[in-house]
Amino acid sequence: MMKRILHTGIRLFLLTVVFAASPLLAQKNKPAKIKAAALQVEMIESDEIKLPAEFQVALYENLIRQLEKNGFSHVYRDGDRNAASVADLVVLHSTVRGFKAGSERARQVTTVSGATSITVHCQFTRSDGTSLLEQDVNGKVRFFGGNLRATYDFAKKAAHVTHENFSATESK
């Protein structure tokens, strides 16, 4: 009887160890972060999708703000001449791939309809155009807030993707 309890205990312990260790192993398999001395954010492109100007500007401004909040001390804007002299510069090109305007009124009245959503294709490159990472990021507002809040949601997610894949280093 005692032997059986002991065996069961050992099995349970081993099972726990295996489950607890799996996330740690997964983290070890993650690719190393790409070093970036600074980031340059290009203006949001929306050639294919008809996007209102205020959404374009809100996406751009929120993105810069969130990147600065996420530990990048040097975030250069589109056209900033100071970025040209930075060695490990990463340039973020964003292109709008999908946009659903939604309705704040419909959201507040029905709760289930009227969501605003934006899908943006983010491409990180070096200054010479070498691609480092490409990913689609979306922004949504489902319940509270105006339509422009979707741009804030996108910016937070895009900044998270940047933080996950790039590490800020001091520029030389």
**Which residue ranges make up the site for other proteins (CB under 8 A)?**
42-47, 50-58, 60-62, 76-82, 104-105, 108-109, 146, 148
Nearer to other proteins, 155 or 165 (CB): 155
Query: For other proteins, which is the closer residue by CB, 5 or 53?
Result: 53
Q: Which is nearer to other proteins, 3 or 81 (CB)?
A: 81
Residues 150, 117: contact at Cβ < 8 Å? yes
Q: Are 92 and 42 in contact (CB under 8 A)?
A: yes
Shortest distance (Å) from residue 140 CB to other proteins = 18
Residue 100: CB minimum distance to other proteins, A: 13
User: How far, CA to CA in Å, does 3 sit from each of 6, 8, 16, 52?
Assistant: 5, 9, 20, 72
Q: Which residues pair with 121 in a beta bridge?
A: 95, 136
CA nearest 154: which of 72, 89, 52, 67? 67
Kindly state the smallest distance separating residue 82's Cβ from other proteins, in Å.
6
Residue closer to other proteins, measured from CB, 88 or 104 = 104
Phi, psi of 80 (to 5 degrees): -65, 120
Cβ nearer to other proteins, comparing 49 with 132: 49
Tell me whether strands 89-100 and 116-126 are parallel, antiparallel or unpaired. antiparallel
Give least dist CB 96 to other proteins, A: 8
For the bound state, the minimum distance from the C-beta of residue 59 to other proteins, rounded and expressed in Å, comes to 9
